[in-house]
Amino acid sequence: MDLDFSAAENAFRAEARAWLTAHVSTSRLPSLETAEGFAAHREWERALFADRWSVVSWPEEYGGRGVSLLQWLIFEEEYYAADAPGRVSQNGINLLAPTLFEHGTPEQRARVLPPMASGEVIWAQAWSEPEAGSDLARLRSTAQRTEGGWRLTGQKTWSSRAAFADRAFGLFRSDPAADKPHPGLTYLMFPLDAPGLTVRPLGRLDGKPAFAELFLDDVFVPDEDVIGAPGEGWRVAMSTAGSERGLTLRSPGRFTAAADRLARLWRDEADPADTALRDRVADAVIGARAYELFAYASVSRIAAGESIGAESSLNKVFWSELDIALHETALDLLGPYGELADDAADAPAHGGWAEGYTFSLAGPIYAGTNEIQRDIIAERLLGLPKGRR
């Protein structure tokens, strides 16, 4: 792995940094988990798209710049270092889009990707069900064949962004006679304002509706919104899950930027005599740098034609635990003020540390629980026998 950047990569970094410096406001946008904040973040997506910064690694025909995965990492580093707004479109860009690139039709890519890149259509993830979270194979929601499409019935829960999003993607059981659990599932896209569909927001610890429950009662979806072949949804979904657990959902720039802010917070606010807290800050910085180097190594392997496969589970366990430790350290450093919400006048960093901590608590659960990821690591990477299942 070559740790030196080329002249073209350095030029790309400089261009990204200049654009972000000119466009990122010093005023923090409202939380994207509110109606006001969601609308403001959608406008930010449109600004990114206007200058082709919303999806830099996508082909130009869909609004991207066609840059390499390494340049995408560079952009992410600059994006988080600039403290730019959170990406309200990340479910679509980081999860559905890779699935469409691998399994979608040319018509689906041409129809779905440009409005996703521009923020015109925001996507929600609709995988989990009341009795099927990490073990997706247990899902019960059904897709029944009808003329020209499918009828969806069932319930989805913990659907990210669904409270305010426009469309969703998920798995449905389309062949009840198939041997369970994996065969007979179909991957579908559907509008959240369709007749027969009810969206019920779910509050996070801070009360903001970061998730929603979806109740589907005979919701019609046309054939054109099936991704991959009917009945092969599990195979399609595994590529989405790999993206979610791997690099795309949590790029290292997110953690290196947060670790740098934590180090500055320590220098500005901490008691130098508190060596225990100092060591936790150092551990967070080291963890972020370690994850960054691991990510660069993974990108080098992908560029050489390899895949990271089950190693995406290592990524998922590492960044989810690092995220909690980093934000816990910041809150302990700030004391009682650190717990103030974003709408409190005295909230440090406009409540960013508190909101980041609240979100980090979900990390070991979503994208497949860490218990499941450790099973995958044990069985597929270490060759250990199957355990708890």
Alpha-carbon distance of 235 to 240, in angstroms, equals: 9
Angle at 103 between CA 102 and CA 109, to 5 degrees: 85
The Cβ of residue 119 has, within 10 Å, a number of other Cβ atoms equal to 22
Q: Are strands 211-222 and 226-227 parallel, antiparallel or unpaired?
A: unpaired
**Phi–psi pair at 62, nearest 5 degrees:** -105, 10
Q: Are strands 123-125 and 167-173 parallel, antiparallel or unpaired?
A: parallel
Q: Which residue has the tokens 């009840």?
A: 176
Residue from 220, 122, 138, 209 nearest 171 by CA: 138
Residue 216 CA: distances (Å) to CA of 91, 121, 169, 184, 193: 20, 20, 13, 19, 11
Q: Cβ(71)–Cβ(56) under 8 Å?
A: yes
Helices (H) and strands (E) in the chain, counts: 12, 8
The Cβ of residue 326 has, within 10 Å, a number of other Cβ atoms equal to 25
Of 244, 292, 311, 355, which one is the catalytic site residue?
Answer: 244
Q: Are strands 149-156 and 211-222 parallel, antiparallel or unpaired?
A: antiparallel
Please name the amino acid found at residue 71: Q
Residue from 241, 237, 215 nearest 226 by CA: 237
Q: Structure tokens of 342?
A: 């974003």
Annotated catalytic residue 306: no
Residue 134: which residues within 8 A CB-CB, separation 6 or more? Answer: 368, 369, 371, 372
Q: Structure tokens of 146?
A: 């009808």
Alpha-carbon distance of 330 to 326, in angstroms, equals: 6
Alpha-carbon distance of 22 to 198, in angstroms, equals: 41
Hey, which residues are catalytic here?
Answer: 244
